[in-house]
Structure 1
Amino acid sequence: MREIRVTSSVAIPASELNWRFSRSSGPGGQSVNTADSRAELSWDLASSAALSPAQRERALERLSKRLVDGVLTIAASEFRSQLRNREAAETRLAALVRDAIAPPPKKRRPTKPSRRAVERRLDSKRRRSELKRLRRAD
């Protein structure tokens, strides 16, 4: 097993990941009943050493609806092979964590249009209105 690279500075070590495999519904025909192709990946976010305290707090807050006792679980069963389902689960986990630990966006600095821009807009509306007024048959 290998670690999951989330960002260039954050990687989740394989020792913190728990895998479970089960029979999958969906594609696969008769092999669905014989192969444990569904992959379930669990990661204990609350006690992970992979994230800094600030990142952990942010992730716990943003992923609170998906966590059960601080554990994040991802299930993948869209492929017929267990290997591809494992890769899909790893990719999904990395994307989820990447979005959760991203710093909040900068606040928008309120601005207002310049006087010239307002005049241009109103002038264009006036011209358009005049054009439509002239088209009308009175």
Structure 2
Amino acid sequence: MAGQQDLEINDEITVPYWELVETFTRSSGPGGQNVNKTSSAVQLRWNVDASSVPSRIKARFRQIWKNRMTKEGDVIVEASEHRSQARNREEARKRLTSMIAKAARRKKRRIPTRPTRGSVERRIKAKKETGEKKALRGKVDPKG
């Protein structure tokens, strides 16, 4: 069957087709009568907690996409841009793939750097100049 394909994220990660639940509904938007009589919109549902994806990726997925998840741990991706059900299904699967791929990517560790001597000197000089400028804003002594 065409819809029963695993979702390949990268070389190591694959989401089996039985973890994905597809629902088809009537779409809104362009398409005229075709849209009104066919169920071309796709709602793709994937339960993150019950998935076979490695736990570190699940945890990162929950962290990144927590606002897109239901209380049951499902993430719902909808696609209704196209007139065709097949293209909407492909679009929804592509979106879910990119979401999981983003969670699978490791964040690069920031290497802390020290400010250069010149930048420290420039900063302190600028602070002194600002302080002098503000000191001039004080009350003027009429006696001198």
TM-score normalized with structure 1 length: 0.78
Q: Once superposed, what is the RMSD of the aligned Cα atoms?
A: 1.9
Q: Which residue of 2 aligns with 1:31?
A: 34
Q: Which residue of 2 aligns with 1:14?
A: 17
Q: Which residue of 2 aligns with 1:62?
A: 64
The answer on 1:102 being equivalent to 2:105 is yes
The answer on 1:90 being equivalent to 2:93 is yes
Does the 8 A contact of 1:40 with 1:74 survive in 2? yes
Does the 8 A contact of 1:18 with 1:41 survive in 2? yes
Q: How far did 1:3 drift?
A: 0.6
Aligned match for 2:78, one of 70, 75, 80: 75
CA distance in 2, matches of 1:65, 1:110: 34
Does the 8 A contact of 1:44 with 1:70 survive in 2? yes
Q: How far did 1:32 drift?
A: 1.1
The answer on 1:47 being equivalent to 2:50 is yes
Where in structure 2 are there 5+ consecutive unaligned residues?
123-144
Q: How far did 1:114 drift?
A: 6.2
Q: Which residue of 2 aligns with 1:132?
A: none
In the alignment of these two chains, the number of paired residues is 118
TM-score normalized with structure 2 length: 0.75
